Amino acid sequence: MAVSDRSQVVFVAAGLVVFAAGIAFRSWGVLFGTFDFWADEAWWATLTTHIALTESGIRPIGYMWLSQHLAAFNNPELTLRLPSYLAGIGTMVCVYLAARRLLTLRVLALLALCLVAMNPKLVAFAKEFKPYSLETFVHSGLLLWALICYQRRRIGVAFPAVALAVLPFSYNIVFLYPGLALAMLALSRIWHRVTPLQWAGIASAGLLLLLLVHGFASEALGTSERAQFWGDKYGVFPPADAGVLSVAGWYLRKTWNLVTMAGGTTAVAQVAFGFAFLVGVGALVAARRFVELALLVGPLVFVLLANGLGYWPYGPFRTNIFLFPYFILVACYGLDRLVTHLRAVAIAAAVILFVSMLPLEPQALTMKHARDWAPAPQLTEVLDEMQGRLAADPTPAANVIVAEWHAWRPLEYYLERSPHGRDTYARLRNEATLLQERPLDGVERLAALVAEARCSGAPGATRVWVIVVKLDRFIEIVEHPQITAFGVHQRRFAEHDPLYHPVLIELRVPGDRC
């Protein structure tokens, strides 16, 4: 076998291994060892059967329509996550094929595949009943199609039709539209007939129209209030009272953190990735590849502009993972160009990125984590424990379940709405009251519940089941003196997330005195 044939075999084998590993990590929790819905997923699953599509709000209406149909099956944890799972696999394929078209070195296309396949956040959201994985696939698929059309120098009617048709499933695809429009213009006869002065006039008219639309939309949507709310909660909008330099510094930090998040979790890998990305942007400009620049970097620029106008969160946040394929392709393009001039530097950066993406702890990628905005507290294990304790001690007593929101939402779903949960936990649902009018929000609420149970005059003791998940916010409940005074049982579950895992506490509160 010739050397070139052996290298081809090694390359194909390595690509298949990376691709298979990416599929395997995405499959755990969806096809095997299915995870429970956590608070956000349980809420979205509730909405699929309890609101009209016109009330979807910020949720993509096409995605919610699809979810409504998938929710009709008896295994919603599988069916509702299936679009995200398949989209996660599709994203790997699209990014690899786009890299083969964009890059000259095939080993860097393999690096692009590896960066997508092993990125913890892309893996986590492929197991999540949220639209983020599907949005990432839509972006990578349209980007691949645009690159194919531009390189073949022709485009059909189907391309713009599909680009518009996917909008209900991925609202943020609008950030790619300017790049797509530029690519279509570059392939049309109009491109060479319009003078620079006419282009300036068209751009000015477009800017004026954008400002007018913004003026009306901002008033109708209340963007300033929403930006203030989300900015305070997640830090995804710049401080309203900051000066120009502070805002500029805020955007620089957020941009760096957002871009480098696509390069892995270690600081060294993120620096190498950020360096490669900057080189890639510079190389696209130097090569005058302005269409590819608009396709690959334009979405980031328009997300930044949308944030400045108060419409879209900015920075390393879950709503922006759809940008990862763009970042990865630009960084690999930078390394591809760097090989010609600084071969040793390019090889060193590529090796760092390859090594950093190797799953040294594969079990970490099989799980979901709060640090990736996609936790997996197993609340059905808590319900199993509660129902088992009821069966072991059949003494008649009032049972009250109280939980903070991150626990209450999944509990409510599995006790009241899940087809499987309603049957499995029928006894618990019949004998216990889940307090729904006001989830546990602090120690004052717990103290009031205990005082109410003590003054109830009910014979025997009232069982108060306390469930906490978000420990960094509600740890004071677990450590409250009422727990010490009346607690008879406590158990922690699935502690792979140190500050986001279920804690079950059973209290026996006598009702003979106030």
418-440 residue pLDDT tens: 888 888 898 888 888 888 766 78
pLDDT of 207: 65
pTM greater than 0.85: yes
CA pair distance 345, 355, nearest whole angstrom: 15
CA pair distance 361, 365, nearest whole angstrom: 8
Please give the structure tokens belonging to residue 44. Answer: 């979205």
Quickly count: other Cβ atoms within 10 Å of residue 156's Cβ.
9
Please give the structure tokens belonging to residue 198. Answer: 């006419």
pLDDT of 159: 86
The helix/strand/coil state of 194 is coil
Quickly count: other Cβ atoms within 10 Å of residue 321's Cβ.
24
CA pair distance 117, 123, nearest whole angstrom: 7
pLDDT of 304: 94
Quickly count: other Cβ atoms within 10 Å of residue 257's Cβ.
14
With b for 16 or more beta-carbon neighbours within 10 A and e for fewer, the 225-242 pattern comes to eebeebbeeebbbbeeee
pLDDT of 458: 62
CA pair distance 372, 368, nearest whole angstrom: 7
pLDDT of 258: 95
For 209, counting Cβ atoms within 10 Å of its Cβ (0-12 exposed, 13-18 middle, 19+ buried), the class is: exposed
Longest C-alpha distance within the chain, in Å? 90
pLDDT of 64: 92
* Contact predicate 440/67, CB 8 Å: no
* Contact predicate 276/332, CB 8 Å: yes
Any idea what the Cα angle at residue 81 is, between residues 77 and 87, rounded to 5°? 165
10-residue mean pLDDT profile of the chain (514 residues): values are 69 88 93 91 88 75 92 89 97 96 90 92 95 97 92 82 92 91 76 65 66 54 60 80 88 94 83 90 91 93 90 91 96 87 72 69 78 89 92 84 92 89 87 79 81 72 90 84 83 86 90 65
The helix/strand/coil state of 374 is coil
pLDDT of 52: 75
